[in-house]
Amino acid sequence: MSDSGADKAPDVQLPNVHVRAEVLVQALPHMQRYDEEVVVIKYGGHAMGDRAAAEDFAEDIVLLEQSGLKPVVVHGGGPQIGRMLDRLGIKSEFREGLRVTDEATVEVVEMVLAGSINKQIVGWISAEGGKAIGLCGKDGNMVRARRAARTVVDPDSHIERHIDLGLVGEPEHVDRTVLDAVLKAELIPVLAPVAVGGDGQTYNVNADTFAGAIAGAMRAKRLLLLTDVPGVLDKNKKLIPELSIEDCRRLIADGTITAGMIPKIETCIYALEQGVEAVVILDGKVPHAVLLELFTDYGAGTLIRRS
């Protein structure tokens, strides 16, 4: 290197450079822990609608893959589906907070999820230098679904009744063949939660449930559920940093975990019982939340383990 002053970096930059180097050193053991491991990330919520957040997410995914991990992205798209249904004049009916999916609606669901949203995320990852491929549960018969069965208990009569949600499905079987081939080719799979039934019928599958099934089948090291909240909160609305399966069931029973967090926790429990090492529920709106969770000592949400 030349001794001339023109070739030397200004001294004012050195502290910042040293800090960045220290951050990389601290991340090294975390990278080694996840080397060659599958990490399934469910991407959804309002973070999907924010361009800056989407670009941060894409950067995170590319960095994971470049660091030796095998990221698998599963995405949702409820708000986008709702907007498209409104544009087409198709009315949505909800029962107990769940969208009823008829023939007309499932066509829109597939178009939005497996089409526009899926390819948009692939484009974001590609723009950051990654090589992603967009797929859905139908491709390679990856996810076979059955019609979802939901029941509610009437608060007055305490009688349990069945809710017909139409073409809403739940995973019945996951075939790893396509995903194994994609990951071996060092591509990043981006999965839309649309699946096919044994009769060839298309089903709309909840993205959290879909991600849990994929993570379980892949024996993922981690399943990350990116949401619109910091994680699981206690009754004082404070973040609970870590839980066991037993803790989760207790908090559901005593009313601490309620409403939309219950199905997320049920997905976490299912994934853990299928062999996933740990699941994290975290806020997808936090910049680089995925990197904070996987590559630092601080974490970014609620970590859930088997015990």
* Contacts of 147 by beta carbon, 8 Å cutoff, 6+ apart: 167, 168, 169, 170, 197, 203
**From first to last of its 307 residues, what are the pLDDT tens digits of the chain?**
445 444 544 554 555 776 667 767 777 777 788 789 999 999 986 667 678 888 899 999 999 999 999 999 999 988 888 899 999 999 878 776 667 888 999 999 999 999 999 999 999 999 999 999 999 999 999 999 999 877 766 666 667 777 788 899 999 999 999 999 999 999 999 999 999 999 899 999 999 999 999 999 999 999 999 988 889 999 999 999 999 999 999 999 999 998 888 889 999 999 999 999 999 999 888 888 898 889 887 777 999 999 8
> Is 250 annotated among the ligand-binding residues?
no
Residue pair 287/47 in contact (Cβ under 8 Å)? The answer is: no
> Is 206 annotated among the ligand-binding residues?
no
Tokens of 3: 């001794």
pTM for this predicted structure = 0.88
* pLDDT tens by residue, 50-82: 788 888 999 999 999 999 999 999 999 888 888
Torsions phi, psi of 269, nearest 5? -60, -45
Q: What is the pLDDT of residue 6?
A: 47
Q: Which CATH number fits domain 34-305: 3.40.1160.10, 3.10.130.10, 3.90.550.10, 3.30.420.250?
A: 3.40.1160.10
Torsions phi, psi of 237, nearest 5? 65, 30
Instruction: Evaluate the CA torsion angle 120, 215, 259, 56 in order and state its sign.
Output: negative
> Is 77 annotated among the ligand-binding residues?
yes
Query: CA distances (Å), 165 to each of 13, 64, 152, 205, 265, in order?
Result: 59, 37, 12, 11, 21
> Is 249 annotated among the ligand-binding residues?
no
Q: What single letter denotes the amino acid at residue 113?
A: L
Q: What is the pLDDT of residue 188?
A: 98
